[in-house]
Structure 1
Amino acid sequence: MSGVMDDERAELQRLLDEELLKPVFQPILDFRVRAVLGYEALIRGPEGSSLARPDQLFAAAARHGLSRSLEHACREASLRAFACQRLAGKLFLNVTPDCLLDVRLLNGHTRELLIELGIAPNRVVLELTENQQITDMPGILDALLHYRGRGFQIAIDDLGEGFANLRLWSDLRPEFVKIDKHFVHGIADDRIKFHFVRAMQDLAEIGNASLVAEGIEREEDFVCIRDMGIACGQGYFIAHPESSPIRQLSRRTLSALDQQSLALSPMTGGPGRLPTARSLLKAIVPVPMHASNAEVIERFEADPSLDVLPVVQGNQAVGMINRHSMIDRFARPFRRELFGRKSCELFMDQAPLIVDQHATIQELAMMLSLAPRHYLLDGFIVTGDGEYLGVGSSHDLMGMITEMQISAARYANPLTQLPGNVPINEHVDRMLAAGSPFVAVYVDIDNFKPFNDTYGYRRGDDVIQTLARLLCEQVDERLDFVGHIGGDDFFVVFRSADWEIRCWEIISRFAEAIANLLGIDERLRGGYMAENRRGELSFQASPTLSLGAVRVAAGECESHREVAAAASAAKKQAKKRARMTDAEPSGGSLFIERRRLGEPMAVGLPRPLIN
């Protein structure tokens, strides 16, 4: 046994001494901008070695007390390979809690290596793994804060696998949090996993962290993660780890991304059109990476309107040069003589904000809000299929967002701030144009006018606002749309599969809310005594809801007018049913139109007015 252990130790020492570790890199996709955010560095032993597999390699290092030496060698090999290949974006480096306290990391060796390789610290993400028990939590937190102060970013790995990373998330507020692959695999078919990840997403939004979904292997999980609004993804569906990784997304990944989900927020630009990064694009001629600093200075001096110059390698954007930073550097004595002939790569930002032309304005704004402040001055590079197209400015982005907010406010209902008729119509038209099936639900409050007349408009406004809040709570904000037609009329566009259950829940909760607005006697009687229109004291039933639902399949309607007419007709049937049965036991009525649109209604029932 001792001989086997001695051989294992000797083999491990050989790999370390002869620098035979083989780094591989797995791309991390940023869903928001349809581009590679960066790469996670992973380590393999040489082929043919008994320690070729990473699990064997790290287990052997733990047995022989060489874990810190192995991690140090992995870190250096990964950084050198990353720099040698000139990979764009961020580098995610795995570190264990014990490694963070290694003197070789604390004494500035990594910082010196980064300077030697020309890698800015803000491009390096220290990814803390939880494969060791953390015994010195205060020490780990102090170490991570030390590295963040030096410009590094922090990621927590495998969220959901253990408890220590939840405490780290709370105390450290990392820039990235990786969701354990257990919760990602099969999420498209598992509602429990879906809601677990949704809870993680809510925490991430509060803590200004970007979530990375690990272990994406199936297209349906990929699309589900994207549609949930998770920031980033990683896994075999996107790309396998390779020593020479992909720099542009594969056709398979791009095809899955092109299955565009419909935006729920009304935008400027006309029905069905959402402003994207391409709307802000300015076609600035870039400089090649081999261009000299003197050539860059000449470009800036020749064109005073140029604030930035993008740098490309072939057709791929690799950097950005800020005018003021560049000129300030060369204003110092002897700078032109010392650096004028050297490559512009020396002074460029190696990690510019690069976005795909299809990134929406909201996605861009979110990226800038989470990015370092200098991006607000530099703006962003716009690409198409990974190739350079132009540059966009933060100033133009802010102007467009302001325009969108003014437009949204113009068409919002003043009482509830929900989208009004114009954005409702635009959203329905977008759904129809995309051929996406949905359910249109017209929501109306029964017996509202007597309540409003009896208790006053202030209490009436409370009822309307209560309904607006309930509707927003009961829909899936990622899939469904809520609009306020006016008065006590609302319109909901459902894409949730369980829309019918949600409708009954709305009816039930509204009945509870109304009961809380009435006194005990009125609640027991189901109404109150008030004057009717003839001035006679009579019993008035409590407000209830009537919901008329219409299923709209692909190709059944041409415009929002047809959908509105059919939903209005369904709502009338719901109100008729409520009057005939004195409302359902749950306190409201739901009528679901079972026919396909365009078919005649049953004898004795009015035909919907379809234009």
Structure 2
Amino acid sequence: MIVNLANISYLSTPAQPNGAVADEQLGGHLQQILAGRQLSALFQPIVQMQTGTIIGYEGLIRGPSDSPLHSPLRLFQAARTLNLTQEVEFLCRCVVLERFAELALPGKLFLNVSPECLLPQRDGKLSHTLEIVRQAGLQPDQLVIELTENQPTYDYEQMRNAVLHYRELGFEIAIDDLGEGFSSLRLWSELRPEYVKVDMHFIQGVNSDPVKLQFVRSIQEIAEKSNTLVIAEGIEQQAELLVLRDLGVAFAQGYHLGRPHANPAKALPAEVAKALSRNGVSVYPQQTAENQTASIMKLLHKVAAVPPTMNNNDVYDIFLADPKLLIIPVVENDKPLGLISRFEMIDHFARPYQRELYGKKSCKQFMDSKPLVADKSTSLQDLSFRMVESDAHHLFNGFIITDRGRYLGMGTGHDLMREITQMQINAARYANPLTQLPGNVPINEHIDRLLQSGTKFWACYCDLDHFKPFNDVYGYRRGDDVIQITGRILTSHTDRDRDFVGHIGGDDFMILFQSEDWEERCRAILDEFAACVTEFYSNEDRERGGYISEDRQGKKVFYSLMSLSLGVIKVAPRQYYSHHQIATSASEAKKQAKKIHGNSLFLDRRDGPGR
């Protein structure tokens, strides 16, 4: 059971009108609550992911229902204003402990305490907690002291000593709201708690946000290495629950598992327990091809600048001394003024009398005064757009990199194009830029996860028939439209939480079904594709059911309207051992489907590879 005390005890609300009068009124209510022990406890379950059993409860405090201090936010704001925070916290602990014991709830009590109240010299009453626990008929090993940090902690040595003291008494330690507090990661490193609770901000939407997924995955990896158990709080959807289960997160909490209640259930709702017991893996959110935010700092070259007072003869000598130097920036008081091109200067000095006329004049004479300048925070993608829209000479001259207007160095157009090209190649492997569907790497990773889980699934290879001649006749832009709509059709007929849709490349797609009704979904895909594809043809071709195009030998050939072929293999546990085998078998099934005229579905009923 978790008593959520420090969570709420250090929050504040805006000042009320007529503050002194309001404080006096709230003070009267608070004194009545303390004198009459007018607090009640609600409990919310915490669930073990792999078994679905409840391992404890979080206790939430409420004031009297007819009081302005019913809300815990108002209750603890009043306590802080009147310097009664410790008294209110102590009463909360008593009420929740006693009610927890009275209800005989299973599992542990996680008792939330702010770090500053954990220290003995600041809270004499916390040392009485052990006595209260025993009076309630509980044992210390049923309690976990959960540290909620709403104010910064600096005295880590004193914190370690306090934690050691409570561990020696039999309590365990947890850190609450990891990712929200001031230094919760430092606390984790210093105290080595038995549990960490990940803040709900990183949990809600984890099934659709790749950044949140990576955050939780990183926390889980740290937890495994430090023998810490992770509790994910704030779960409101089944998809969130299953993604977290697949990541290996130990425990879960949230409205989807059970709302706070004065007399909570001692078992999970049947539908939640069924979902947790179901075999299979969840579909992880994917990074899109557009998520290219790398900074241009990786292109930075330290290039010595010259002041505008330097004459052209001296700049020319610098170029002669370094044959590889192509550009010299002109900078005054750290502010970039322009660029001098090696070839521009040599070209000028090669003309009759140019050196005699301009050699002793300022180097600004031959300077490009409108160079391409970008701050160090500029992304590679944004800079490439600017480069394309700028004059062509910027691609050769390169660009100046600044830090809030101060000169840092140079970048070359060649380096920029190389990085952008590599990013596009990498992006295509992870997410197809045309459809934004996952590419080959995520497809293979998901297949490997399915194989490791030992679950049954179906691999469906999807391929368009007569796509290349369609491209030849109608153009690549129309072909791209067909590929995009095919991706949308495939996605619309799959379960986003159970079925994985990937884009292998070109007009090839892969669906990894866990849905038992996969065949019905495939038929719906074929029906919708047949209805939509005719829109991409001219009226004449649509009426005659095809079009004329040249084959590879240059002969005129009649092609039917495009159709979609689906080749499916069923993958039973331990039937295949790698994504390579899956890809080979699914490709063979696709070839069989393409032998069937029109939109077709072929299921390979043979048993496994090498059959």
TM range, smaller chain: 0.3 to 0.5
TM-score in terms of structure 2 length: 0.48
Rg larger for: 2
